[in-house]
Amino acid sequence: MPGWLTRIGERSRRVDAVAAGFEAQHPVYVVLDQRRDSERCAALVGQPGWHDFLTLFAGTPLAPLIEASPWLLELTLGSEAWQAAEALCREQRIGWAFQPTQGARLDALADHMRRLFVLDDPLGGQSLVNVQDPTACTALLAAGSDTAYAHCIGPLGRVSTPTPQGHWQAWQPAAHQGDAKAPPLTHELERALKEIQRAWWLSQATDLPLQELPDEWLERLTQLAEADIAGWRDRKRLLPLVRHADAAMWRQAQAILFDTSLTVRQKISELERHS
């Protein structure tokens, strides 16, 4: 298993009710990728328990993408607005929640979040990280060093991200004493951001938590993608092979996967016939 997946279990715990980890007397904050369900997100505005919100790309180099900007919402825990936002995160995977352990201003929290969207990459450039997506947020928190983890969590306090099983993952708070500069996009984090999409799908398809996925399954799913078999319907058809093939059977599968004389459709048919 990739090391960053094991750190999910080391840095967080599963909770069935996200509100159980928050304090009722303090506001709770939700990061939403509002472009993925703009109608339901817009309906949150003005609901009981709604306090305020900011568009996170405003005032940043990403401002030209303002219509696609994620939102940062301030809500009352347990309110109608909170329940609707929590359902959007858990059911549609379009956001996650946090509550600072100490009082914090909405604009200060937004400034911290804004530093995480564009990270310095290993090639000397910069890369956009979709932090509003729970999959990317999970990879960011799990794959970074202890220092990077503390920086990301920092003023956010108690962070909870939805899981593929529809539960929540509550991450340990961590104090950060360094400067305000965002952590770099390391090779491990870059790899994790690519792997998390396949791992999330596999976790959902097998009902196994991310941190319990066998490394062999993930490697086989990666090989399918390298052979241009990446659609979820095709992966689902080949999931029994990914999960149950022994070493000899998988060697035969690899010969089919990387046979350049076969089309993708032919590869899938051959793999199903041999499974």
> What is the full per-residue pLDDT of the chain (275 aa) written as tens digits?
467 899 999 999 999 889 888 998 899 999 999 999 999 999 999 899 999 999 999 999 999 999 999 999 999 999 999 999 999 999 999 999 999 988 789 999 999 999 999 998 888 889 999 999 999 999 999 998 999 999 999 899 999 999 999 999 999 998 876 666 778 899 999 999 999 999 999 999 999 999 999 989 999 999 999 999 988 899 999 999 999 999 999 999 999 999 999 999 999 999 998 77
Q: What is the DSSP string of 110-129?
A: HHHHHTTSEEE-TTSSEEE-
Question: Does the residue 208 lie in any domain?
Answer: no
Residues 114 and 218 in one domain: no
Question: Does the residue 145 lie in any domain?
Answer: yes
pTM across the whole model: 0.91
Question: Does the residue 52 lie in any domain?
Answer: yes
**Domain finish residue from 150, 166, 195:** 195
Per the structure, the complete domain to which residue 187 belongs is given by: 3-195
Q: How distant is the alpha carbon of residue 257 from its chain centre? A: 29
Domain count, the chain: 2
Q: CA torsion angle for 131, 136, 142, 146 (degrees, to 10)?
A: -30
